Structures are given as structure tokens and as C-alpha cells.
Structure 1
Amino acid sequence: MAGTYVRVKCSDCENEQIVFGKAATTVSCAVCGTTLAVPTGGMAEIDHEIVETVEAR
């Protein structure tokens, strides 16, 4: 499965979390519960700051 991971910074609590770019479910911040990513059928809709694209290891 091809896809990218991005590090997203929560605008409410400043927590940084890694999110799959094609997330199939809603992704919430692990600290405050704010919605970080919403699935759209393709690339997830991310309304917060994308800090970086994470390289595959």
C-alpha cells in the first residue's frame, strides 16, 4: 500500500502527531481530542499545520 505519513501539529495544544496521509478513519489528537484528519475517500483532509513528511524506514 503506497502512501505517505505526515507529522501534524495540533493548533489547540501544540502536540505533534504522525498521521497517515490516506487515513480511512477520523484521527484525533492523543492529548486534547481535537480532530486532526478527516477521511475523504483519497487523501485525508488535514486542517492543522503539517510540520513535515515522514520518510518510510
Structure 2
Amino acid sequence: MAGDFIRVECPDCENEQVIFGKAASDVVCAVCGHTLATPTGGLATLESDVVEVVESRQADAL
């Protein structure tokens, strides 16, 4: 499975949280409950600021 784990900052409370870039369900802030990302069937739509890419996972080439 390819995809990135990214650290995002909540626009409401400035909490930083690590999420998967291809989230399959809504991701909410653990502190205030603000929606950080919503699924789209591929890359999630981010509603927060990206701080950094924590880990980038590439699909293995066959």
C-alpha cells in the first residue's frame, strides 16, 4: 500500500496530529473534534495545514 503519513495542524486549536494521507474515513482532531481530513476514494481532502511528511510509503515495483 502506497501513501504518506503526514503531520497536520488543527486550524482551531493548533494541535498537531499524524494522519494517513489516504484516509478511508473522516479524521477529526483528538483535542477539539474539528474535521482534519475527509475521504475521497484516493488522497484525502485535507482541511488542515500540513506540517511535515512523517513517512512516505511507495508501492513496491514488480
Alignment of 1:7-46 (within 5 A): 7-46=7-46
Larger strand percent: 2
- Coordinate RMSD, CA, aligned: 0.9
Percent identity, aligned pairs only, is 62
Distance in 2, matches of 1:27 and 1:49, equals: 14
TM-score by length of 1: 0.93
Deviation readout 1:9-53 (Å, 9 max, x if unpaired): 001000000010000000000000000000000000002110000
Q: Which runs of 5+ in 1 are unaligned?
A: none
Q: Which has the larger radius of gyration?
A: 2
TM-score by length of 2: 0.86
